[in-house]
Amino acid sequence: MTIPSRNPFEAKLSHDGHTYNPGKGSAGLHPGLKTYGVIDPAEKIGAAAEEKVWECIVIGAGYTGLIAARDLVKAGKQTLLLEARDRVGGRTWSAEIEGTTFEMGGTWVSHVHGRLFAEMQRYGLKDSVSMTRTEGGGAAYFTIDTGSGSRRLSLKEASEMTFRAWRIFINVDGQDGRSLCPLPYSSLGNSRVSREEVEAIDKISCQDRIDQVADQLTADEKALIESLVPHCTGGTAANTGFLEMLRAQALQGYTPETFEECWTLYKIKEGQSTLARKIFDDADRLGLQYAFKQPVRSFVEKDDNVTVTTASGMAYKAKRVINTLPLAVLPTVQFDPPLSKLRQEAIQIGHVNHLTKVHAEVTGDLRGLRGCTFPGELLYVYGDGFCHGDESTRITSFAGDNRGVLNPLQQPEKLVTALKRFHPMEIKKVYFHDWLSDPYSLAGPAWYSAGYLTKYLDELQSRHGNVLMANSDWASGWRAFIEGAMEQGALAADIVMEEVGIQGANAVVS
């Protein structure tokens, strides 16, 4: 029996997310899902907010902004948080639907995500973890359809096939990537590998590498790698840099056997929005002032202060700004003085992640189901536990770059067709957040094309005057993960505290 968790928050309707009722065409598509992340009232800000000079303004209430804002107010800094949405979490949030939690964006946690687990421990969620995989669940096999017909493999057979193919694909140096990516948090300039060596490997795409080893792979193994890359990156094997996969290999311990534990197994039982709310409420308790539903339109720096103007015409001034807007959203905001030419070039090129992530509630027990279809509108599927009531299964599925292939807002019925390709299933409802049409994301979290990291990462991480740029899209470690978002928020807050000034409890008075 599934026991619903006790949660101190009330799920309220957000503007984000969609529900689709199969068989009803466009009439079956409904916007808005309930979540613990909605902040009501949407504003807590003093009457003189536009007249004062804040010590810091934080733009965005995703995990980067939440960590930064919490750390700053904990240190006694006068901090204002501005967020375009009606909720916290940014690209990571959970919908609460009839007693079941659906993670609409960032989802999984891992023992190797140290910052994230520290926050879970801080807020009493360290042991509140559930698993995507259900031992002994129904349909416990792997369905594969890669052009040679649809068939079923045991989960063990599918794992062994994937692991063998991955080892051949990744072992470009004879050491499973260790010699080229020994320190994944220091991709550039570390003591064990020269920048020239990293730049050389960064020139090739994942498809280039697949082509190099194609004669060592069976047709199914080749298709599995060509599908696994976009499953990870939200792009394609052709437009994803091979260095991205070397970094993934290093971060997960240089072995494919740890992929599931690091990437797709453990979840916060109460949902990511619960953790986000706990961080936000902590900052609120400590005196954070905030305004939601306030998209930012411009940053203007003059006389060492930065003026932030919102879409509603409000203007706030601060000594420092921490800007957490994603890479794809930066072109929608004006900077004065303008961004550097190199950063503008990086923004114009952008990253490769244009993913589709879909949930479905299906009749019966499919908790053990795994599968891959390639090519296809959706690439991978996971049985993801029972829904509340234990009579239907939560299914989660991912695609790579679906631009021009599948638009879930315009073609929702194609989601149903794509899901049924994995396995015959009776789909009751489909839930999704279309990140590509969302004006505050316009893409998924960043994965880079060949040559991008070595040319642009340093610039993306650099500050723009008194505007600090902080986002998981250019994190040093687990970029595109919750862990990377928290890394960026903590580092940015530390810089602000150092520059704005903190007087310790036992400060020496001269």
64 labeled binding residue:
yes
Mean pLDDT, residues 252-263 taken together:
93
CA 194 to chain centre: 30
Share of the chain above pLDDT 90, in %: 87
Asked if the model's pLDDT at residue 309 lies above 80, the reply is yes
**How many Å apart are CA 140 and CA 393, to the nearest integer?**
13
84 marked as part of a ligand binding site: yes
Average pLDDT (81-103) is: 97
The answer to whether 296 is annotated as binding is yes
**Can you tell me the mean pLDDT for 466-474?**
98
Average per-residue pLDDT in the chain?
94
Amino acid letter for position 22? P
Where does 254-339 show beta strands of DSSP type E?
266-268, 289-291, 296-302, 305-310, 315-323, 334-336
What pLDDT is attached to residue 509?
59
Instruction: Summarize pLDDT for 328-371 with one digit per residue, the tens.
Output: 999 999 999 999 999 999 999 999 999 999 999 999 999 999 99
Which residue, 421, 306, 285, is CA-closest to 57? Answer: 306
DSSP of 177-228, one letter per residue? TTTT-S-TT--SS-TTS-HHHHHHHTTSBHHHHHHHHGGGS-HHHHHHHHHH
Is the predicted pLDDT of residue 39 greater than 50, yes or no?
Answer: yes
Give the model's pLDDT for residue 130: 94
- φ, ψ for residue 358 (rounded to 5)? -135, 140
Question: Is pLDDT of 5 > 60?
Answer: no
Strand ranges inside 311-451, DSSP E:
315-323, 334-336, 357-363, 370-373, 380-386, 392-398, 427-432
* Banded model confidence at residue 4, pLDDT cuts 50, 70, 90: very low
pLDDT computed for residue 1 by the predictor: 41
Domain 43-90+272-350+443-500 has CATH 3.30.70.20: no
Phi, psi of 110 (to 5 degrees): -150, 155
By three-state DSSP, how is residue 239 classified? coil
Query: Of 31, 124, 4, whose CA–CA distance to 86 is shortest?
Result: 31
Lowest-confidence region among 148-157, 321-330, 346-355:
148-157
DSSP code per residue over 76-89: T--EEEE-SSSBSB
pLDDT of residue 51: 92
Question: What is the arithmetic mean of pLDDT over 287-296?
Answer: 98
Q: Is the pLDDT at 507 greater than 80, yes or no?
A: no
Structure tokens at 408: 């879930």
Domain 142-264 sits in CATH 3.40.630.10: no
Minimum mean pLDDT range among 83-92, 140-149, 254-263 = 140-149
Q: Quick one: what percent of the chain has pLDDT higher than 70?
A: 97
- 323 pLDDT band, cuts 50/70/90, is very high
Q: Does the pLDDT of residue 95 top 90, yes or no? A: yes
Structure tokens at 366: 């499919």
Cα 340 to Cα 490: distance, rounded to the nearest angstrom: 24
DSSP letter for each residue of 6-73: P-SSPPEEEEEEEEE-TTSGGGGEEEEEEETTB-SSSEE--TTTTTSEEEEEEE--BHHHHHHHHHHH
Residue-wise pLDDT for 474-487, tens only, equals 999 999 999 999 99
> Quick one: which of 279, 287, 262 has its CA closest to 125?
279
Q: Give the model's pLDDT for residue 6.
A: 62
Residue reference for tokens 């103007």: 309
Q: Which two tokens stand for residue 302?
A: 């003059």
Per-residue pLDDT for 193 more than 50?
Answer: yes
Tokens of 56: 């810091």
User: What are the start and end residues of each CATH 3.90.660.10 domain in the chain?
Assistant: 142-264
CA distances from 294 to 4, 43, 85, 89 (A): 34, 10, 7, 15
pLDDT digits (tens, 9 = 90+) for 408-424: 999 999 999 999 999 99
CA distance 382 to 396: 5
Residue 469 has pLDDT above 90, yes or no: yes
What are the start and end residues of each CATH 3.50.50.60 domain in the chain?
43-90+272-350+443-500
Known binding residue 47? Answer is no
